[in-house]
Amino acid sequence: MKMLKAALCGAVASIAMAGAAQAQEFTFNIGAASDYVFRGLDQTFDAEGQIFGGVDVTADKFYAGAWLSNTGPDGDGAVEYDLYAGFKPELGGATLDLGLIYYAYTDNDSGSVSSDLNALEFKAALSVPAGPFTLGGALYYSPENGGFGDESTTYIEANAAYTFENGPTISAAIGNFSADVVAPIDSYTTWNIGATFPVGEKFSIDARYHGSDDDAETAFGPDLADDFFVITGKFTFGL
């Protein structure tokens, strides 16, 4: 795990250095949301909203980035910081996305969030444009997920989006998460559907419903696995 983390950090740094001479390939984002929901689970324990920000850099078909957000119960001061890098080759009219994502956490006051939850994921995704539609699928695999006792986890997702001529996009996704653990429930299904509305060239508002099946509530409880409606505002700009 340490070697893979070091390799990912090196990839992020290398791509950032490669793109440094082309400032237009740097993109920054900052935003706020009414809640932080990830794969159907509430990451702030239904206690507060979310503030996040990130930076992305591309160099030809390679990309890398970093993202930062609050997480955990209200007032505990936990922070999630993600590093990712990947390669997006084109296959005919489709785009393949092969990458790595490292999820890392700071320790909070109550101990509900800590660096013990850190995880590295491998990502393989495919998106296919079809007129105003985009169809896609993705596979995420972690060989040692700290949130599940360093056991392996897998998340598989199918998604679709439709973009109107005047700008708004409707999108939906359904996914299944599974963990190699001995527990009453070792997998659950989650879904989301919503719309993203551009406001000018740099700001967007997303309204999205997140849901999950009964297995998620059995495994994580009703506070973390419930139905959530989330409003997100995001400002994106490049240099």
Place of tokens 């393949």: 96
What is the rounded average pLDDT of the residues 113-124? 92
pLDDT digits (tens, 9 = 90+) for 63-79: 999 999 998 876 667 89
CATH number of the domain bearing residue 65: 2.40.160.40
pTM: 0.88
Greatest mean pLDDT among 5-19, 64-78, 165-179: 165-179
* Structural domain that includes position 175: 2-238
Q: In whole angstroms, give the CA distance from residue 221 to residue 71.
A: 18
- Beta bridge pairs of residue 140: 123, 155
Please state the φ and ψ torsions of residue 45, each to the nearest 5 degrees.
Answer: 55, 30
Q: What is the mean pLDDT of the chain?
A: 88
Are residues 58 and 24 in contact, defined by beta-carbon separation less than 8 angstroms? Answer: no
- Chain-centroid distance of CA 113 in Å reads 18
pLDDT digits (tens, 9 = 90+) for 29-69: 999 999 999 999 999 876 678 999 999 999 989 999 999 99
How many degrees, rounded to 5, is the angle at CA 4 between CA 177 and CA 117?
45
- Chain-centroid distance of CA 1 in Å reads 20
Greatest mean pLDDT among 143-152, 154-163, 212-221: 154-163
Per DSSP, 225 falls in state S
How many degrees, rounded to 5, is the angle at CA 65 between CA 62 and CA 70?
160
What total of structural domains would you count in the chain? 1
